[in-house]
């Protein structure tokens, strides 16, 4: 698709585009992921090799360490077709740290050991060692991959995973329910100058040290800390950026032809920031969310929370003699980070012509009404599968901020998740009863809890028990937001479920009431894997526990997860046959397997 | 001993001492190491628990991360008696990093799996898991412990290990060949504001990023970056330090009574700096080096290289109405780091009286003659065991700085050590032939090699082969220094041998010649575990391979080891019986042990 368009644009084999008078490489160089395809009729296995290592890099024009893959940051984009088996051999080239990679949005049907969550689906890969993630990319869509151990995602361990629709014989027929002439992929993240270790230790310290707002927002790993691309419109003193185009922090330019329709894939792996994206002068039509088609709707700007992905279409129907800003700003927190900017560049004009109009201004950070309107517009494409009409079980999860022995933590129903050293998948499969608490965490919270005020008793406790879900049962989860420790404070939390899609049945204000269930959208609720819970509100979701494994469900804000904001679901684990041993070599599963070795002593 | 002196000094149960008008704790609070003694006649087992974690700390008055133990930096001092069995349960509370602890100077007779060297004696301890180091403290002396994985030593993972002489029934008779009234322990280190990861990645980058000179030298983890204790004598603009005494960077004061003799234990775990210590107005008598008694000699200042330990005696025979500086400066490299300072404080005057005389000035950094004179004075105490008169094997190790594919590395006989992911002890014991190169590295280097010039061919190659030593054979090693990559440059390297003491048979200038063997000191060579090789010189040492195990022998400069400056000796490994499995759960040993599990699938 990209190649086709590039050819149309007259680039042929030379994938370069002039930026601010100089040369920039398109970042969609698929071959860099090191894929070797073994193609066969129908489906095929695509092989990739990832070497994960720290490197000096300059994501926001400030030199520092990032966790890169194959010498690149962000990691290479994986692009496969629906139905392909993806095999990624990840080799840990970090010096002393373990590593895992989570394939965010991939359900891992039948391969729960390949979910890439440390302490849950596998032991971290030791330095110098490799682990092969092998899974089916069963569903076309826009996904990402990222670290899921400690706060390595904050350190830059992420990339895009794009699953295209199945190949249709020789035809070039579109299998998507929409048409487009070309596409771009934007992977959004936020960036700190503090290392992930400094951040993580600060969050675990007493006195608490919050990570603060990010120093920069990055588009495809590129942002600007010391300068602004749109300095002349800024009322700060930021200098105008000067790029030759070869800088690691030079912007990723969207070069377009007039009167074409483009698909913009957008995904967010931010550690903290909720974002809003707008293209100056251009409307967008949302067509995909989290790998599922949605009923198209048009918008001037779109929200995207950490862990979400969208596809939007836009048509280059504006004055082709100027360029336009693409602006991505912070939502939900008082923004101290300038918007990420890049340029929608009409090939009919020079890239050196900076857009004449100022960048789009994001909605006011605390205009939650605007965000709710957007979220509520996201509905399943007509004809999408409907949710079961009723559920077998409802779990209410009260989101609170608490103290434990003076440490600040997040908790669900007053339990703050502290992951065990033995991954659950192995310890549950092999009935290692000492690996974690046997008692399941609570399904509910006291009915008199006042979500509008700081808790009367702000103390919580650590826990690592799991919610065991009956196989193929339908589960409702109500995420209930509440006041945090400080008065008049309630935060946004984007919750992400591993191993499944869920239907978003609705968002509500205040405390969830029994009668709110009557308002659930059972007609066209969107299928997603990540959903926001708004301040002082609730979000209801439904899913079918049809994928044997152990699955994290957590706030996708990296510091919040580190501070305990997650729960663990286990389903049908005893039905699993053999679990590959290569992910079991730590903790009690490692001990069990080694103790059974009777050939040596 | 300490307690006795404190009582003499009138402190009784209250171990406080006024410093600059305020209160400072003595750092010799043995109980803080969490020891529980199970005492029996003769010998006993001393149990310690170490929790290793990152913490925010201010070693040089600048806030940052250190790797601490039990909430302290440096780690707690372990103090046991000769003959005790030491059992340290190390729990890894780092988030994503493995950890090991090496007991520097302990030979680990019969317990090679407790040497605490990642990739050599054991797998790194996974986050959340524990490993018990159990070994005999067979020999009284001044030792240390420190990280031996990646560059975690540079991150602050170290502490002191002091083995006192055996308890003699009820008598308080001295078993040491010298007398003293009290003692102090100084653990010296150097400190960077760059994290160990930033340092390590820089060293492994192309272009190369050298770590630079340390921001501060630390005495017992305390130094001053932004101020000087002796500002008034300094010709820099450093401000006078102002301490209440409770600061983590307030100096460790040596409080003495007049006309007493004190033992000063000094050990260095610096990552880079070679040091020189002097006490204003006081001479020192060297009595111990690396846990072995030496023929006492008197000196105004003493050199100490990374990995070395000394005991010196000094008598408080100076004017008791003033205080005196203790100064520790950099040797061997153009110093860009101010000397570490503290105060020898006569209890007969006020601590607020800063010493009237300027701090002792270290010898000029490149006055190697001064250093050689000192090193040559270190000789075994009369009556110490003599070395075997001849050796069975001689290994010459040419120390060179090289390039490999554009990366700067150190090499021995043109092989730059790159440690394997499977620790040697397990892979050799279980004949896992793919774990490392079967070919042994060279025993020698081309006779025509010109050590006075940059190499004609500066390229080297990675290797991880081992030198296999015949059990109980006597081995000579000649460390041959040479010119580094740059012209007219040859550096100091302090080499440290694990698992043994060696006799230092001599130091020489230029290239070692066959006839130099005639000059070997076989009469009273000192037994050491760390020895320096001087620029453009050689150092000869002899040891008996009488300790089955796999042992590192390497430059103790942390960046140099990381850059490949080490070799591995294996001796009698097949004679070892059972190796505890808890250190084998990674790489090919982990796979072997888990693959032999036939009870589960």
Which CATH number characterizes residue B430's domain? Answer: 2.60.40.420
**pLDDT at residue A171, rounded to an integer:** 54
Q: What is the tens place of the pLDDT at every residue in B180-198?
A: 999 999 999 999 999 999 9
Q: Are residues B337 and B211 in the same domain?
A: yes
**pLDDT at residue B597, rounded to an integer:** 59
Residue A208, domain member (yes or no): yes
Nearest CA in chain B to A96: B97
**pLDDT at residue B23, rounded to an integer:** 30
Q: What is the tens place of the pLDDT at every residue in A355-411?
A: 999 999 989 999 999 999 999 999 999 999 999 999 999 999 999 999 999 999 999
> What is the three-class DSSP state of A377?
helix
Whether the Cβ atoms of residue A119 and residue A584 lie closer than 8 Å to each other: no
Q: How many domains does chain A have?
A: 3
Whether the Cβ atoms of residue A107 and residue A537 lie closer than 8 Å to each other: no
Mean pLDDT of chain B: 92
Q: Are residues B133 and B174 in the same domain?
A: yes
Question: Is the preceding peptide bond at B207 cis, omega within 30 degrees of 0?
Answer: yes
Listed residues B157, B180, B203: the one ending a domain: B180
Closest by Cα among B585, B549, B582 to B131: B582
The values of phi and psi at residue A442, to 5°, are -65, 150
Distance CA B218, CA B225 (A): 10
Whether the Cβ atoms of residue B477 and residue B553 lie closer than 8 Å to each other: yes
Q: Which residues of B touch A593 (CB under 8 A)?
A: 593-594, 597, 600
Q: Are residues B103 and B212 in the same domain?
A: no
Q: Per DSSP, which regions of A122-273 are E strands?
A: 130-136, 141-147, 158-164, 182-191, 216-219, 227-228, 239-240, 254-256, 261-268
Task: Report yes or no: B525 at the A interface, CB cutoff 8 Å.
Answer: no
Distance CA B120, CA B544 (A): 20
> Is the model's pLDDT at B22 over the cut of 60?
no
Please name the residue that has the structure tokens 């001087």: B534
**pLDDT at residue B5, rounded to an integer:** 38
Q: What is the tens place of the pLDDT at every residue in B117-162?
A: 999 999 999 999 999 999 999 999 999 999 999 999 999 999 999 9
Residue A597, domain member (yes or no): no
**pLDDT at residue B170, rounded to an integer:** 52
A173 — pLDDT class (breaks 50, 70, 90) = low
**pLDDT at residue B17, rounded to an integer:** 31
Q: Are residues A13 and A88 in the same domain?
A: yes
B169 — pLDDT class (breaks 50, 70, 90) = low
Of B54, B129, B594, the CB nearest to A594: B594
Residue A37, domain member (yes or no): yes
Task: Report yes or no: A473 at the B interface, CB cutoff 8 Å.
Answer: no
Residue A249, domain member (yes or no): yes
Question: In the 8-state DSSP scheme, what is residue A282?
Answer: B
Contact across the interface for B198 and A578, Cβ inside 8 Å: no
Q: Which residues of B touch A149 (CB under 8 A)?
A: 96
DSSP B172-215: ----SSS--SEEEEEEEEEE-SS-HHHHHHHHTSSS-----S-S
Residue B573, domain member (yes or no): yes
**pLDDT at residue B143, rounded to an integer:** 98
ipTM of the complex: 0.92
Task: Report yes or no: A56 at the B interface, CB cutoff 8 Å.
Answer: yes
Q: What is the tens place of the pLDDT at every residue in A402-438?
A: 999 999 999 999 999 999 999 999 999 999 999 999 9
Residue B569, domain member (yes or no): yes
Listed in sequence order, the residues at least 6 apart from A362 whose beta carbon sits closer than 8 Å to its beta carbon are A276, A278, A301, A327, A328, A329, A330, A331, A335, A339
> Is the model's pLDDT at A4 over the cut of 90?
no
Q: Are residues A301 and A432 in the same domain?
A: no
Listed residues A158, A179, A200: the one ending a domain: A179
Contact across the interface for A95 and B150, Cβ inside 8 Å: yes
> What is the three-class DSSP state of B51?
strand
Of chain A, the percentage scoring pLDDT greater than 90 comes to 87
> Which of A1-15, B20-34, B181-195 shows the highest mean pLDDT?
B181-195
B10 — pLDDT class (breaks 50, 70, 90) = very low
Strand partners, A468: A570
Q: What is the tens place of the pLDDT at every residue in B315-351?
A: 999 999 999 999 999 998 888 999 999 999 999 999 9
Q: Rounded to a whole number, what is the distance in Å from the CA of B549 to chain A's nearest CA?
A: 16
B168 — pLDDT class (breaks 50, 70, 90) = low
The values of phi and psi at residue B259, to 5°, are 60, 40
> What is the three-class DSSP state of A333?
coil
Q: What is the mean pLDDT of residues A516-527?
A: 98
Least confident of A13-17, B79-83, B377-381: A13-17
Distance CA A501, CA B124 (A): 38
Q: How far is CA B57 from CA A188, A193, B156, B183, in A?
A: 34, 19, 10, 27
**pLDDT at residue B595, rounded to an integer:** 86
Q: Is 0.80 topped by the overall pTM?
A: yes
Listed residues A126, A157, A179: the one ending a domain: A179
Domain range for A32: 2-179
Listed in sequence order, the residues at least 6 apart from A110 whose beta carbon sits closer than 8 Å to its beta carbon are A136, A547, A548
Residue B16, domain member (yes or no): no
Tokens of A533: 């819970």
Q: Are residues B167 and B226 in the same domain?
A: no
Please name the residue that has the structure tokens 């005196």: B324
Where are the alpha helices (H) located in B204-260, listed in sequence order? none
Q: What is the mean pLDDT of residues A494-504?
A: 98
> Is the model's pLDDT at B31 over the cut of 60?
no
Q: Are residues A31 and A155 in the same domain?
A: yes
Q: What is the tens place of the pLDDT at every residue in B480-536?
A: 999 999 999 999 999 999 999 999 999 999 999 999 999 999 999 999 999 999 999
Rg (CA), chain A: 23
> CA triplet B364, B368, B371: central angle to 5 degrees?
95
| Long-range contact pairs involving A7-16 (C-beta distance under 8 Å, separation at least 24) | A8/A181, A8/A182, A8/A257, A9/A182, A9/A255, A9/A257, A9/A347
Listed in sequence order, the residues at least 6 apart from B240 whose beta carbon sits closer than 8 Å to its beta carbon are B227, B228, B229, B231, B232
Q: Are residues A262 and A331 in the same domain?
A: yes
Phi-psi region of A120 (alpha: psi -120 to 50; beta: other; left: phi over 0): alpha
**pLDDT at residue A169, rounded to an integer:** 56
Contact across the interface for A124 and B129, Cβ inside 8 Å: no
Task: Report yes or no: A595 at the B interface, CB cutoff 8 Å.
Answer: yes
Q: Are residues A163 and A192 in the same domain?
A: no
**N-terminal to C-terminal alpha carbon distance within chain A:** 59
Nearest CA in chain A to B127: A421
Q: Rounded to a whole number, what is the distance in Å from the CA of A143 to chain B's nearest CA?
A: 25
Q: Rounded to a whole number, what is the distance in Å from the CA of B536 to chain A's nearest CA?
A: 32
Please name the residue that has the structure tokens 């899921």: A148
Distance CA B142, CA B162 (A): 5
Task: Report yes or no: B201 at the A interface, CB cutoff 8 Å.
Answer: yes
**pLDDT at residue A335, rounded to an integer:** 85
**pLDDT at residue A23, rounded to an integer:** 30
Q: What is the tens place of the pLDDT at every residue in B383-418?
A: 999 999 999 999 999 999 999 999 999 999 999 999
Q: Are residues A290 and A337 in the same domain?
A: yes
**pLDDT at residue B313, rounded to an integer:** 98
Residue B176, domain member (yes or no): yes
Task: Report yes or no: A592 at the B interface, CB cutoff 8 Å.
Answer: yes
Q: Which residues of B touch A591 (CB under 8 A)?
A: 585
Q: Are residues B485 and B571 in the same domain?
A: yes
Q: Which residues of B touch A124 (CB under 8 A)?
A: 96, 126-127
Distance CA B397, CA A231 (A): 59
Q: Which residues of B touch A594 (CB under 8 A)?
A: 581, 584-585, 590, 593-594, 597
Q: What is the mean pLDDT of residues A93-106?
A: 98
> Is the model's pLDDT at B40 over the cut of 60?
no
Q: Rounded to a whole number, what is the distance in Å from the CA of A308 to chain B's nearest CA?
A: 26
Closest by Cα among A145, A146, A147 to A161: A145
Q: Which residues of B touch A423 (CB under 8 A)?
A: none
Q: Are residues B188 and B296 in the same domain?
A: yes
> Is the model's pLDDT at A28 over the cut of 50?
no
> Is the model's pLDDT at B270 over the cut of 60?
yes
Of B127, B198, B584, the CB nearest to A421: B127
């Amino acid at each position: 698709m990209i190649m086709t368009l590039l050819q149309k644009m007259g680039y042929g084999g030379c994938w370069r585009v002039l930026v601010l008078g100089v040369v920039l490489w398109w970042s969609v160089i698929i071959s860099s992921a090191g894929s070797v395809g073994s193609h066969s009729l129908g489906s095929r296995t695509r092989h990739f090799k990832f070497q994960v290592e720290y490197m000096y890099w300059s994501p926001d024009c400030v030199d520092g360490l990032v966790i890169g893959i194959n010498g690149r940051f962000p990691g290479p984009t994986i692009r496969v077709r629906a139905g392909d088996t993806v095999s990624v051999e990840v080799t840990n080239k970090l010096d002393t740290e373990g590593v895992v990679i989570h394939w965010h949005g991939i359900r891992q049907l039948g391969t729960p050991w390949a979910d890439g969550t440390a302490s849950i689906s596998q032991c971290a890969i030791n330095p110098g060692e490799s682990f092969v993630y092998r899974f089916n990319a069963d569903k076309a869509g826009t996904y990402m991959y990222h670290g899921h151990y400690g706060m390595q995602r904050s350190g830059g361990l992420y990339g895009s995973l794009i699953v295209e629709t199945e190949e249709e014989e020789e035809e070039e027929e579109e299998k998507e329910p929409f048409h487009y002439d070309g596409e771009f992929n934007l992977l959004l993240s936020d960036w700190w100058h503090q290392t992930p270790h400094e951040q993580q230790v600060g969050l675990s310290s007493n006195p608490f040290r919050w990570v603060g707002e990010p120093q920069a927002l990055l588009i495809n790993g590129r942002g600007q800390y010391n300068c602004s691309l749109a300095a002349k419109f800024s009322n700060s003193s930021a200098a105008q950026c000067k790029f030759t185009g070869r800088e690691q922090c030079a912007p990723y330019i969207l070069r377009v032809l007039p009167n074409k329709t483009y698909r913009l894939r957008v995904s967010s792996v931010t550690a903290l920031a909720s974002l809003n994206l707008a293209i100056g002068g251009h409307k967008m039509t949302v067509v995909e969310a989290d790998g599922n088609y949605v009923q198209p709707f048009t918008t001037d700007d779109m929200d995207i929370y950490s862990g979400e992905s969208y596809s939007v279409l836009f048509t280059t129907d504006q004055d082709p003699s100027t360029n336009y800003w693409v602006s991505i700003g912070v939502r939900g927190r008082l923004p101290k980070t300038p918007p990420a900017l890049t340029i929608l560049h009409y090939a009919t004009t020079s890239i050196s012509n900076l857009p004449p109009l100022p960048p789009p201004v994001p909605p006011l950070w605390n205009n939650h009404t605007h965000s709710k309107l957007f979220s509520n517009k996201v509905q399943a494409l007509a004809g999408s599968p409907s949710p079961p009409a009723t559920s077998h079980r409802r779990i209410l999860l009260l989101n609170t901020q608490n103290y434990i022995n003076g440490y600040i933590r997040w908790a669900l129903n007053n339990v703050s998740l502290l992951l065990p050293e033995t991954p659950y998948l192995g310890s549950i499969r092999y009935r290692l009863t000492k690996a974690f608490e046997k008692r399941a965490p609570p399904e509910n919270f006291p009915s008199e809890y006042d979500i509008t005020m700081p808790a009367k008793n702000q103390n919580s406790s650590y826990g690592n028990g799991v919610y065991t879900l009956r196989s193929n049962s339908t589960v409702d989860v109500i995420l209930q937001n509440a006041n945090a420790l400080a008065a008049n404070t309630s935060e946004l939390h984007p919750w992400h479920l591993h191993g499944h899609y869920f239907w978003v049945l609705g968002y509500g204000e205040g405390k969830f009431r029994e009668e709110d269930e009557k308002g659930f959208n059972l007609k066209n609720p969107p299928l997603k894997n990540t959903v926001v819970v708004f301040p002082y509100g609730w979000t209801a979701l439904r899913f079918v526990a049809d994928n044997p494994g152990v699955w994290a469900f957590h706030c996708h804000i990296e510091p919040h997860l580190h501070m305990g904001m997650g729960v663990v679901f286990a389903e049908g684990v005893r039905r699993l046959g053999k679990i590959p041993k290569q992910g079991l070599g730590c903790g009690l599963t490692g001990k069990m397997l080694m103790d059974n070795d009777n050939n040596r002593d």
